[in-house]
Amino acid sequence: MTKGEQLYEGKAKKVFATDDPEKLIVDYKDDATAFNGLKKGTIRGKGVINNRMSNALMRMLESKGVPTHFIEELSERETLVKKVSIVPLEVIIRNISAGSFAKHYGVEEGIVFDAPTIEFSYKNDALGDPLLNEYHALALKLATKEEIETIKKYSFMVNEVLKEFWLSCGVTLVDFKLEFGRLSDGTIVLADEISPDTCRLWDSKTGEKLDKDRFRRDLGGVEDAYQEIMGRLEKHIGG
């Protein structure tokens, strides 16, 4: 597969064309941002970890019936994926209160919910990714009713699969963000990445944060946390 021209550079990844119009190469960077790009930094080795972790989790999800954009890991930082047009919705699933949920509703972090919650935000950096509901998404024609139903179904499936997997690694899946895309025939698949950048992962015993909150909140030990969570995954996946 030949790496063609760079099509796009995001905050954490670059996307390249290939000789197949239906396939792209994603290249993971060590760059980290938070608060809509206001805070910038580097997390050494993050690109390698996020690439490998996201691929391992997407393979697992495929085997459990969630279609994804993943095709093949090409190198430490590069992955071949199906070309999608991204649905401009960020889907957030929460099992435990944290982050913006705790802030918006004035509750402490760490409250375990009886059932997971789902929320959407409009993927639009200029507007700061505002929260919206399904009616807003329909009004803005961001997705169809059927697409939203499919996205919700897959998102809760992802939660069940990942919650159980991370528990077997001694890690609590607090919350995470997903993005979906449409293949050229309109099929909805899970896209973007699943990594410590996009999930809150707490050590089940100690509550230690093993994710990007260490960077967002200046907690220190950022690189070590990424290494630790990757090590746990590899031990339990036999990789």
CB of 4 to ligand TMP, least distance (A): 28
List the x/- string, 94-133, binding to ligand TMP by CB under 6 A.
----xxxx--------------------------------
Q: Which residue has the tokens 């979906």?
A: 180
Q: Provide the 10 A C-beta neighbour count for residue 148.
A: 20
Contact 179, 74 (CB under 8 A): no
* Out of 92, 137, 158, 169, the residue judged to bind ligand TMP by CB under 6 A: 92
CB of 71 to ligand TMP, least distance (A): 23
* Out of 176, 180, 202, 226, the residue judged to bind ligand TMP by CB under 6 A: 176
180 lines the binding site for ligand TMP (CB under 6 A):
no
Alpha-carbon torsion (34, 57, 79, 92), positive or negative: negative
CB closest to ligand TMP, residue no: 99
* Out of 18, 51, 54, 198, the residue judged to bind ligand TMP by CB under 6 A: 198
Look at residue 79 and give its three-state secondary structure. strand
209 lines the binding site for ligand TMP (CB under 6 A):
no
- Cα 47 to Cα 53, 79, 81, 137, 233: the distances in Å are 10, 11, 16, 31, 16
CB of 105 to ligand TMP, least distance (A): 11
The structure tokens listed for 58 are 């997407």
List the x/- string, 15-54, binding to ligand TMP by CB under 6 A.
----------------------------------------
Smaller CB separation from ligand TMP, 191 or 199: 199
Contact 27, 77 (CB under 8 A): yes
Q: How far apart are CA 111 and CA 99, in angstroms?
A: 12
Q: Residue 41 class from Cβ within 10 Å (0-12 exposed, 13-18 middle, 19+ buried)? A: middle
Stretch that binds ligand TMP, among 54-62, 75-83, 153-161, 198-206 (CB under 6 A): 198-206
User: Biggest alpha carbon distance in the chain?
Assistant: 51
Q: Which residue has the tokens 């697992």?
A: 60
200 lines the binding site for ligand TMP (CB under 6 A):
yes
Q: With contacts defined by CB under 6 A, how many residues of the chain interact with ligand TMP? A: 11
Q: Which residues bind ligand TMP (CB under 6 A)?
A: 92, 98-101, 175-177, 198-200
